[in-house]
Amino acid sequence: MSRLTERNIEILKIIIEEYIKTWEVLWSKLLLKKYDLWVSSATVRGDMAHLETLKLIYQPYNSAGRLPTAKWIRAFVSYLMQDTPEYFLEAKNNTVPLSNLREFSEFIHSVVFNLAKNTKEIAFFVLPEKKVIEYSGVAQFLERNHKRLWDDIFHLLRMLEDKPNFSDFIESFSTHAWVNIYIWEENILPYLKDYTIILKPIEIDGITGYIWIIWGLKMNYSFNISAVKGII
């Protein structure tokens, strides 16, 4: 693969940050108008063409600007994971034993509620061995995104209602001990292929559970990674 220059990387960062903010393609002239790169429009077009050959950005239609690919967003997220500060939620940052079921239930509800409130995403706690699923943020999520989701709303609601299969699905993920990110095609169920999952395994009384949030490719990755990292 051809090496990227510092300017290539700077342009990549700008394209994805603009995409996250606006949902729109970015033209070379607009990029130069908003960001002081000290180069010509022709130079930026050349950089964009180079990045396109590496499949890091793409042109959705002729004469359009560029959008980031899932490959580049994966690289961008991996970069964020190196140096993302902790973000501690309002919930208590400790654990409650499973033996005290009422207190444990209240604790998990508090963690999930605060995670959803802070990230503005749908937040979950899943304990597959006990078939426990707690989630929060569905109403605010649908209120903000129903015009974009269309029929995906029904896929999402069916997923939430089918708790046993959903619990098995989360347990089937290949995870490591830290924060895990699954972007688009990395999600193994067809109806989740347009979504990103940020997931963190946790141990409670020797049982593995999972705290996670879900939304599409366009999310505030830096903040959301920090929020999930800061739990328990």
For residue 32, is it within any domain? Answer: yes
Same domain as 105, residue 63: no
Same domain as 224, residue 146: yes
Confidence of residue 90 (pLDDT cuts 50, 70, 90): very low
Quick one: CA torsion of 133, 135, 139, 143, rounded to 10 degrees?
Answer: -110
Same domain as 112, residue 61: no
Domain boundary among 26, 44, 68: 68
DSSP string, 171-199: HTS---SS-EEEEGGGSSSGGGTTEEEEE
Confidence of residue 38 (pLDDT cuts 50, 70, 90): confident
Same domain as 142, residue 57: no
Same domain as 167, residue 114: yes
DSSP state of 2: P
Same domain as 123, residue 37: no
For the chain, give the percent of residues with pLDDT over 70: 82
pLDDT over threshold 80, residue 184: no
For residue 15, is it within any domain? Answer: yes
The pLDDT value given to residue 92: 44
pLDDT over threshold 70, residue 75: yes
Domain boundary among 27, 50, 68: 68
The pLDDT value given to residue 98: 63
For residue 77, is it within any domain? Answer: no
**Enclosing domain of residue 175:** 101-229
3-state secondary structure of 203: strand
Higher pLDDT, 20 or 204: 204
For residue 85, is it within any domain? Answer: no
For residue 218, is it within any domain? Answer: yes
Higher pLDDT, 94 or 78: 78
Work out the average pLDDT over 66-90.
Answer: 67
Confidence of residue 93 (pLDDT cuts 50, 70, 90): very low
pLDDT over threshold 60, residue 6: yes
| Domain at 42, CATH number | 1.10.10.10
- CB of 203 closer than 8 Å to CB of 97: no
For residue 36, is it within any domain? Answer: yes
Domain boundary among 23, 52, 68: 68
Higher pLDDT, 65 or 165: 165
The pLDDT value given to residue 42: 82
The per-residue pLDDT of the chain, averaged, comes to: 77
Q: What total of structural domains would you count in the chain?
A: 2
CA neighbor of 67 nearest in space, from 121, 17, 137: 17
| Domain at 121, CATH number | 3.30.450.40
Same domain as 177, residue 128: yes
The whole-angstrom separation of Cα 115 and Cα 165 is: 23
The whole-angstrom separation of Cα 78 and Cα 74 is: 6
99-139 residue pLDDT tens: 666 777 888 888 899 899 888 888 999 888 877 888 998 88
pLDDT over threshold 80, residue 189: no
Same domain as 223, residue 145: yes
Is 5 buried (19+), middle (13-18) or exposed (0-12) by CB count in 10 A?
Answer: exposed
Same domain as 135, residue 224: yes
pLDDT over threshold 60, residue 69: yes
pLDDT over threshold 50, residue 73: yes
Same domain as 215, residue 106: yes
Same domain as 207, residue 116: yes
Same domain as 61, residue 16: yes
